[in-house]
């Protein structure tokens, strides 16, 4: 039985003080001792340490939004896996569609980052997903399959990996993939992983859905057999909405 995982991706929102307040509000909403599913909060790099202090001692985990694939050196503006780990993060999000779209990330840079993070003991949420044009052109399956295959190229052990399927057309747009549309792609991702790693490994892999998940649609999405939680953008900026989504995941 796969334990569901719900992560709030706060993107480039909130100062350190605002992030601390939001983390406190999320904890208050979840209630003491919450353990119904795995939960992560992903503030900006600047606020990782401060949010880490707020969630210390709870089951909520700290998640970074990106990392570099080199150890250290002359990469102005970048953050290494070692630095991220030192803040207490347990996960890093890699290959978010906004990174691919605005910062030139490709399947091969995603692959370098995933390798680096996993090798250095940081768990990974690797994002994949098609644009509206790709969906309309009927290439969703081929595109997502190649994102999975190329992102995982040369990686033997995926026990510390989560895949997030995030159709780009559903991110921040208010348009959600229907539960059936999402399940179809999740099932396809698991089939690709079966081919790469075998049944046993694939059946353990958690595949999150992301794209305008809200309290009103979370339960239906999380009830699908291959949807193992959510990567939540906009709704994670509201503690009550995020907690409602987490609770929906816990009850599925």
Binding positions for ligand PEP, rule: CB under 6 A: 9, 166, 171-172, 210-213, 231-235
Residues 38, 68, 96, 183: which is the catalytic one? 96
Give the C-alpha separation, 213 to 159, whole Å: 26
For ligand PEP, which is the closer residue by CB, 31 or 172?
Answer: 172
- Phi and psi for 237 in degrees, rounded to 5? -85, -5
The least distance separating ligand PEP from the CB of residue 109, rounded to whole angstroms, comes to 18
The least distance separating ligand PEP from the CB of residue 110, rounded to whole angstroms, comes to 15
Q: Is 68 among the residues known to form the active site?
A: no
Give the C-alpha separation, 225 to 39, whole Å: 19
HSE-up of residue 176 (Cα within 13 Å, Cβ side):
21
Task: Tell me the CA distances in angstroms from 1 to 54, 60, 73, one per residue in order.
Answer: 30, 20, 42
Q: Is 96 among the residues known to form the active site?
A: yes
The least distance separating ligand PEP from the CB of residue 14, rounded to whole angstroms, comes to 14
Burial class (CB in 10 A: 0-12, 13-18, 19+), 118: buried
| H-assigned helices in 69-228 | 81-86, 97-102, 107-119, 132-136, 140-151, 179-197, 199-204, 215-222
For ligand PEP, which is the closer residue by CB, 67 or 171?
Answer: 171
For ligand PEP, which is the closer residue by CB, 114 or 213?
Answer: 213
Residues 68, 166, 183, 186: which is the catalytic one? 166
On whether the CB atoms of residues 3 and 38 are closer than 8 A, the answer is: yes
Q: Which residue has the tokens 């091969």?
A: 108
For ligand PEP, which is the closer residue by CB, 44 or 191?
Answer: 44
For ligand PEP, which is the closer residue by CB, 171 or 243?
Answer: 171
The least distance separating ligand PEP from the CB of residue 9, rounded to whole angstroms, comes to 5
The least distance separating ligand PEP from the CB of residue 179, rounded to whole angstroms, comes to 15
For ligand PEP, which is the closer residue by CB, 118 or 231?
Answer: 231
Helix (H) / strand (E) containing 53: helix 48-55
On whether the CB atoms of residues 187 and 232 are closer than 8 A, the answer is: no
HSE-up of residue 7 (Cα within 13 Å, Cβ side):
31
The least distance separating ligand PEP from the CB of residue 10, rounded to whole angstroms, comes to 10
| Active site positions, annotated | 96, 166
């Amino acid at each position: 039985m796969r334990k569901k995982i719900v992560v709030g991706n706060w993107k480039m929102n909130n100062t350190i003080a605002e992030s601390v307040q939001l983390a406190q509000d999320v904890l208050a909403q979840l209630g003491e001792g919450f353990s119904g599913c795995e939960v992560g909060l992903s503030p900006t790099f600047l606020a990782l340490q401060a949010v880490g202090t707020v969630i210390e001692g709870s089951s909520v985990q700290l998640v970074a939004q990106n990392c570099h694939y080199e150890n250290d050196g002359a990469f102005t503006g970048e953050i290494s896996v070692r630095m991220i780990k030192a803040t207490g993060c347990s996960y890093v999000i890699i290959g978010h569609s906004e990174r691919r779209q605005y910062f030139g990330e490709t399947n091969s840079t995603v692959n370098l980052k995933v390798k680096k993070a996993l090798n250095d003991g940081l768990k990974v949420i690797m994002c994949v997903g098609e644009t509206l044009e790709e969906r309309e052109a009927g290439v969703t399956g081929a595109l997502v399959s190649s994102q999975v295959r190329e992102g995982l190229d040369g990686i033997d052990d995926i026990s510390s990996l989560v895949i997030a399927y995030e159709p780009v057309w559903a991110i921040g747009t208010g348009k959600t993939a229907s539960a059936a549309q999402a399940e179809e792609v999740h099932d396809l991702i698991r089939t690709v992983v079966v081919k790469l790693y075998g049944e046993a490994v694939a059946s353990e892999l958690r595949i999150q859905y992301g794209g305008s998940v809200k309290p009103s649609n979370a339960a239906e999405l999380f009830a699908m057999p291959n949807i193992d939680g959510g990567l939540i953008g906009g709704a994670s900026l509201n503690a009550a909405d995020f907690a409602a989504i987490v609770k929906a995941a816990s009850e599925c």
